[in-house]
Amino acid sequence: MQFNFFRLFSVFSALLILSSCLDTTTTTTPAKSNDASFVSMTLAGNDSAKTAVFALDASGTTIENIDSLPFRTRIDSLYPTFAFKSTAKAVLYFPKNRTIYKYKFSKGNDSIYITGKDTVDFRQALWTNKDSALWVNKYASDGIHNHPYKIKINVHKVHPELYVWANLTDKVNSVNAKYQKAIFLNNKIYYYMNDGLAAYLFTSSDGKTWIQENSLNGLPVNTPLNDMLQFNGKLFVSHDGFNVFSSSNGLNDWTKSTFTDFSFNSLLCVWNNKLWAVVQSVSDATYHFATTSNGVVWTMIGKIPDNFPVTDFSAITISTVTGKSKVLVLGGYSPTNTNTPLKNCWSSEDGVYWVDFSTENHSLDSLAEGSSVISYDNKLLLFGSVKKGSQLVRGYYRESKDEGLSWYIPDTVYNQIAHGEEFKTSKTYKDTVSYSNYYQPHIYQSVVVDDTNKRIFLIGGKANNNPENARRYSSGRRNSKSNTTLIPTTDIWTGKLNRKSFIRQ
């Protein structure tokens, strides 16, 4: 009994000692910070705006998103949330002169405490004057130090996938060109043409201002020009079947090479460090490919496939997604049918085995001769026309995203070749496009790309002699007049994908 009492007394004493210790403990208060610098900003209220990443600009005074939000993203009703190094309060200030936009926030003042629950209209432009800018002032946890930041939300002002086209000139010159060809060489456009009596060369660095070069020697005045290609720093073009002309400067040093074992139907492409051509054997009149690695010695190799074009086709060499080099050959005329243009797209990765994509995919339809194909923005663009009789009834513009296997009409008006502007109608407020000038359908036009400026040039060719029908052609409606014939034209159009002008792709 005494032992139990002693144990009870000991426990009671320990509790008294512990209670005394707790009473003497002091509370530690964290030191207040004077750092009010910016850490992050996020937005809510719009799915597109959620993805924006904000940071300080180079001056350290403005909070902005480096990557602009998608075209037409709404920023008039967003919920901003900020993070700073230390926090006492953050106040969002609105411009005092609010004549354009109505700012939506809870109390109707020109400033609010940031809670993440207020809807803010961020459409106000960024100004240098604090009284006319949307800005946030952050107070550090010491309640004294603060740091003001202007706020800017960048939104793309133009549709990134819009091709903007413009007519640079309706006529480069008055030459009644029987043949013509334009290439991009030495950072300039070289525009060759001849009328059967004389050969001409015009050059331009912008497609708008052209200079006629006086010295063009050695190139026959009736050279077809359609198959002119660049290879190993020289220009090559075939002439009269057994002759190939070449030049290192494209001006006055054209030289002729003559061959006797085969005749040239057309130069084909530059591929795997060789210049390729479609030729016909003298001994048995069969059609073959021929190649050269130096432009001088040519070797005739395997026969061309059945239904393969020998003239008036378009060809391009591309790199596949697996890194292999591949050539595509589209349209043109075959040896057995010189009246009806082909609707085939041939492909090969070795020059021996050729695949006709049209066997499985019939998306190339009604393509007239003399089309042009380029590689642009990781896809292929095909420019041509639909022909009926002696007239071009409409333009033929196609894209391919699968390396030429399938072709499709662009699914939006943004890609059509015309000069116009966007506006909103008062009735529907839907975006429409008004065109003031139209691109007539052409064949044998040259299409070149300035890789530095990412600009496409559509140069000359042949078009209908009745320009009044341009509006009907552009809309795809068939012209009913029968007196339309094809004539040479030297008009120049240029286009560029808006996204190619962005600093950040």
The residue out of 152, 176, 209 marking a domain boundary is 152
Averaged pLDDT score across all residues of the chain: 81
The answer on pLDDT for 264 being more than 50 is: yes
CA distance 487 to 177: 9
Residues 319, 417 share a domain: yes
- Evaluate whether residue 480 is within a structural domain: yes
Residues 421, 319 share a domain: yes
Lowest mean pLDDT among 76-80, 189-193, 339-343, 412-416: 412-416
* Model pLDDT for residues 15-34, shown as the tens digit of each residue: 444 455 544 444 444 556 77
Lowest mean pLDDT among 127-141, 409-423, 448-462, 485-499: 409-423
CA 380, 456, 460, 167 dihedral sign is: positive
CA distance 183 to 190: 5
CA distance 194 to 494: 23
Residues 173, 124 share a domain: no
| pLDDT attached to residue 479 | 44
Looking from the CA of 251 toward its CB, the CA atoms found within 13 Å total 9
Cα 315-321-325 angle, rounded to 5 deg: 45
- Evaluate whether residue 18 is within a structural domain: no
- Evaluate whether residue 24 is within a structural domain: no
Closest CA to 186 of 450, 497, 484: 450
Q: Where are the alpha helices (DSSP H) in 361-477?
A: 470-474
CA distance 342 to 321: 27
- Evaluate whether residue 251 is within a structural domain: no
- Evaluate whether residue 495 is within a structural domain: yes
The answer on pLDDT for 8 being more than 50 is: no
**Whether 271 contacts 256, CB under 8 Å:** no
Residues 477, 419 share a domain: yes
- Confidence band of 316 (pLDDT split at 50, 70, 90): very high
CA distance 113 to 111: 7
- Evaluate whether residue 256 is within a structural domain: no
Residues 436, 327 share a domain: yes
Selection from 67-71, 425-429, 437-441 with the highest mean pLDDT: 67-71
Residues 167, 147 share a domain: no
CA 206, 211, 216, 220 dihedral sign is: positive
Letter string b/e over residues 158-192, b meaning 16 or more CB atoms within 10 A of that residue's CB: ebbebbbbebbeeebeebebbbbbbbbeeebbbbb
Ramachandran quadrant class, 332 (left: phi over 0; alpha: psi -120 to 50; beta: rest):
left
Q: State mean pLDDT over 391-395.
A: 86
The answer on pLDDT for 105 being more than 80 is: no
Q: State mean pLDDT over 142-152.
A: 80
What is the Cα 27 distance to its own chain's centre? 65
- Evaluate whether residue 121 is within a structural domain: yes
- Confidence band of 501 (pLDDT split at 50, 70, 90): confident
Residues 199, 109 share a domain: no
The residue out of 128, 152, 176 marking a domain boundary is 152
Closest CA to 294 of 246, 340, 258: 246
| pLDDT attached to residue 409 | 84
CA 169, 173, 176, 179 dihedral sign is: negative
What values do phi and psi take at 79, rounded to 5? Answer: -110, 105
CA distance 68 to 141: 33
CA distance 146 to 50: 27
Secondary structure class of 127 (helix, strand, coil): coil
Q: State mean pLDDT over 320-325.
A: 90
| pLDDT attached to residue 88 | 64
Q: State mean pLDDT over 452-463.
A: 94
| pLDDT attached to residue 476 | 41
Residues 208, 110 share a domain: no
State the DSSP code for 70: P
Residues 172, 133 share a domain: no
CA distance 94 to 163: 37
Lowest mean pLDDT among 52-66, 230-244, 294-308, 340-354: 52-66
Strands 62-65 and 146-152: parallel
The residue out of 152, 176, 196 marking a domain boundary is 152
Residues 210, 141 share a domain: no
Selection from 107-116, 289-298, 332-341, 401-410 with the highest mean pLDDT: 289-298
Cα(first)–Cα(last) distance of the chain, in Å? 90
The reported pTM is: 0.78
Concatenate the DSSP letters of all residues of 31-57 into one string.
PPP----EEEEEEESSHHHHT--EEE-
Residue with tokens 């001994």: 283
Domain count, the chain: 2
51 lies in which domain range?
A: 38-152
Q: State mean pLDDT over 290-308.
A: 95
Which of 307 and 477 is assigned the larger pLDDT? Answer: 307
Residues 443, 330 share a domain: yes
| pLDDT attached to residue 348 | 96
Secondary structure class of 65 (helix, strand, coil): strand
What values do phi and psi take at 180, rounded to 5? Answer: -155, 155
Ramachandran quadrant class, 300 (left: phi over 0; alpha: psi -120 to 50; beta: rest):
beta
- Confidence band of 196 (pLDDT split at 50, 70, 90): confident
The CATH number covering residue 87 comes to 2.60.40
Cα–Cα distance list, 324 to 319, 345, 380 (Å): 5, 18, 16
- Confidence band of 305 (pLDDT split at 50, 70, 90): very high
Give every CB contact of residue 64 below 8 A, 6+ residues apart in sequence.
54, 55, 57, 151, 152, 153, 154
Q: State mean pLDDT over 4-12.
A: 49
Letter string b/e over residues 434-463, b meaning 16 or more CB atoms within 10 A of that residue's CB: ebeebbbbbbbbbbbbbeeeebbbbbbbbb
Letter string b/e over residues 326-354, b meaning 16 or more CB atoms within 10 A of that residue's CB: bbbbbbbbbbeeeeebbebbbbbbebeeb
Residues 351, 317 share a domain: yes
- Evaluate whether residue 287 is within a structural domain: no
